[in-house]
């Protein structure tokens, strides 16, 4: 690669840059799946505590706008993006390793009932996940800006599609790695052995993620004085106040914002309890429940490719989004019914279908996001859509754990199925609500409204 990095990414370069996104997918499996399972099933944490602690990772999502503006205005080592990506990655890798001993420390405090140790432990756990979320935001916001810097408007959809597929590949690889590396923990309930094994596993993952991130970003950005012309002319001058005025001035912005929240909830509300669902209802060991994410990931990857190559070109973006929401609702209904049979192969097949629906819906939602973004304020709108998804995942983790706790306190029948059924039933209703709200999204009206609103906001700024 030449010293001057010009806009445009070849497929091999896009795949290399996507390694970072794959690393994020791998860590997502560990945090949303493995650690959830350990805290809920092996350490008997309250579901609300698990969902609430993990939700702090997403509650800090508004920081993405701030980190994006910082990377725009303050280069490090003559570069605006890569140093922040590497800094954020180093931070969240270190925090990921630190999470394991802290989780088991809180587990011991909960077991003994010692106060004020429990309060401090819970605060420390929530704080760690909040810091982890900040570190992820610090890395991912400049990373996405780097993708925009390196691609033209025509190339961007392909690059986004490839990178999103790499995220799903990372989820699959992470689930497989968990299954292979932690197979020795099947049937083990000794906290000391669990902690030491998980700590070693997390340390290895952190080192691999850091090395792959360096490989992914090496040579991907030029120095400030060599920055390509494609990065010029971006609207980096809109502040937080003006951004808020812009996004709240159009009803269509709020409608799509609401759709993204409901759509993301319909995909991830079961996240805090899925592996425990497999453990308690289907009697699956740790390695087997981790594989549920692999089945989901394979289906998602297939859905992304099928939607991008076949469904969207034939049906259109809006019709494909409706199809995705309908398939997600069907998958959740089958996931709910699978617990009545307690048959593992049926659960695995449903997870593949759920992933396929998620891939189709996600691809069309990403295409709509590109359409519902003003070129003059791309950073602002990408930040808003990203914030909607992140906050929705936070709400999903908190609500999923809370609903599980509520279900355990209600007379929902004998056995462990009832609380999980409550979570999945609410998620099914959310998917139907997302489908209803999607019918009110109008791309043409969005463009007309936001173009007028942007002109007013900029006129106010100049005035």
Averaged pLDDT, 149-169:
74
Task: List, for residues 262-276, the tens digit of each pLDDT value.
Answer: 999 999 898 878 888
User: Sorting pLDDT into bands at 50, 70 and 90, what band is 374?
Assistant: low
CA dist., res. 397 & res. 31, Å (int) = 11
Contact 332, 266 (CB under 8 A): yes
pLDDT of residue 119: 87
Average per-residue pLDDT for the chain:
81
The pLDDT, as a whole number, for residue 53 is 80
Distance (Å, whole) CA 446 – CA 448: 6
Secondary structure (3-state) at 282: coil
pLDDT tens digits for range 45-60: 887 788 778 778 877 8
Give the pLDDT confidence score for residue 223 in this predicted structure: 55
Beta-carbon neighbour count of residue 13 at 10 Å? 16
Tell me the CB-side half-sphere exposure of residue 340, using CA atoms within 13 A: 6
Rounded CA separation 134/352 (Å): 32
How far does Cα 216 stand from its chain's mean position? 20
Report the alpha-carbon distance of residue 289 to residue 302 in Å, rounded: 21
Q: Who contacts 344 (Cβ-Cβ below 8 Å, separation ≥6)?
A: 278, 282, 284, 288
Half-sphere exposure of 2 (CA within 13 A, CB side): 8
Q: How far apart are CA 101 and CA 27, in angstroms?
A: 17
Rounded to an integer, what distance in angstroms lies between the CA atom of residue 377 and that of residue 458? 11
Q: DSSP code of 113? A: T
Its CATH architecture, for the domain 11-222+230-462, is Up-down Bundle (1.20)
Residue 448, pLDDT above cutoff 90: no
- Of 155, 434, 173, 161, the closest CA to residue 304 belongs to 161
Angle, helices 117-150 vs 378-409, to 10°: value is: 150
Q: What is the pLDDT of residue 207?
A: 95
Residue 244 scores a pLDDT above 70: no
Give the angle subtended at the CA of 427 by the CAs of 417 and 419, to the nearest 5°: 20
pLDDT, average across residues 178-195: 76
Q: What is the pLDDT of residues 309-352, one digit of tens each?
A: 788 888 888 999 999 999 999 999 999 999 999 899 999 999 99
SS3 category, 76: strand
96 versus 168: which is more confidently predicted? Answer: 96
According to DSSP, the residues that pair with 79 across neighbouring strands are: 76
Of residues 317 and 68, the one with the higher pLDDT is 317
Show me where the domains of the chain are located: 11-222+230-462
Pair of tokens at residue 57: 């990772």
Per-residue confidence (pLDDT) for residue 203, from 0 to 100:
93
Token readout for 41 is 């099933």
Helical pair 117-150 and 63-73, crossing angle rounded to 10 deg = 50
Q: What is the pLDDT of residue 225?
A: 46
Contact of 457 with 246, CB cutoff 8 Å: yes
Confidence class for position 402, pLDDT limits 50, 70, 90? confident
Rounded Cα distance, 184 and 287, in Å: 9
Q: Which of 71, 21, 30, 79 is nearest to 54 (CA)?
A: 30
Q: Specify the 3-state DSSP secondary structure of 49.
A: helix
CA distance 440 to 445: 11
């Amino acid at each position: 690669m030449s010293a001057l990095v010009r806009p445009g990414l070849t497929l091999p370069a896009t795949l290399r840059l996507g390694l970072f996104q794959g690393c994020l997918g791998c860590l997502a499996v560990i945090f949303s799946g493995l650690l959830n399972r350990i805290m809920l099933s092996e350490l008997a944490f309250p579901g609300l505590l698990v969902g609430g602690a993990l939700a702090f990772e997403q509650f800090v999502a508004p920081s993405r706008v701030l980190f994006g503006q910082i990377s725009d205005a303050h280069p490090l080592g003559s570069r605006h993006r890569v140093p922040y990506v590497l800094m954020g990655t180093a931070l969240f890798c270190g925090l990921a390793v630190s999470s394991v001993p802290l989780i088991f420390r809180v587990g011991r405090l909960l077991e003994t009932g010692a106060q004020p140790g429990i309060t401090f432990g819970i605060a420390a756990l929530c704080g760690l996940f909040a810091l982890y979320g900040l570190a992820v935001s610090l890395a991912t916001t400049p990373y996405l800006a780097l993708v925009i810097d390196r691609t033209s408007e025509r190339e961007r959809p392909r690059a986004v599609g490839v990178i999103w597929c790499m995220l799903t590949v990372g989820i699959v690889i992470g689930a497989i790695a968990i299954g292979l590396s932690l197979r020795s923990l099947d049937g083990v309930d000794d906290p000391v052995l669990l902690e030491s094994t998980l700590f070693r596993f997390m340390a290895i993952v952190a080192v691999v993620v850091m090395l792959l991130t360096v490989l992914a970003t090496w040579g991907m950005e030029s120095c400030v004085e060599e920055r390509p012309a494609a990065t010029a002319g971006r609207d980096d001058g809109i502040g937080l106040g003006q951004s808020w005025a812009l996004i709240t001035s159009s009803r269509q912005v709020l409608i799509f914002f609401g759709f993204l929240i409901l759509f993301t909830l319909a995909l991830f509300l079961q996240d805090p309890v899925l592996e425990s669902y497999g453990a308690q209802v289907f009697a699956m060991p740790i390695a087997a429940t981790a594989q549920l994410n692999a089945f989901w990931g394979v289906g998602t990857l297939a859905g992304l490719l099928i939607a991008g190559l076949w469904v969207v070109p034939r049906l259109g973006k809006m019709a494909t989004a409706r199809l995705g929401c309908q398939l997600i609702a069907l998958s959740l209904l089958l996931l709910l019914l699978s617990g009545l049979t307690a048959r593992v192969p049926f659960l695995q097949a449903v997870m593949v279908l759920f992933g396929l629906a998620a891939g189709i819906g996600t691809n069309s939602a990403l295409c709509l996001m590109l359409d519902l973004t003003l070129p003059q304020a791309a950073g602002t709108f990408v930040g808003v859509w990203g914030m909607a998804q992140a906050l929705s995942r936070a709400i999903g983790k908190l609500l999923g754990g809370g609903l599980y706790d509520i279900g355990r306190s209600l007379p929902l029948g004998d056995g462990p199925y009832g609380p999980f059924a409550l979570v999945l039933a609410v998620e099914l209703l959310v998917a139907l609500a997302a489908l209803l709200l999607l019918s009110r999204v109008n791309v043409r009206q969005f463009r007309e409204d936001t173009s007028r609103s942007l002109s007013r906001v900029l006129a106010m700024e100049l005035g």
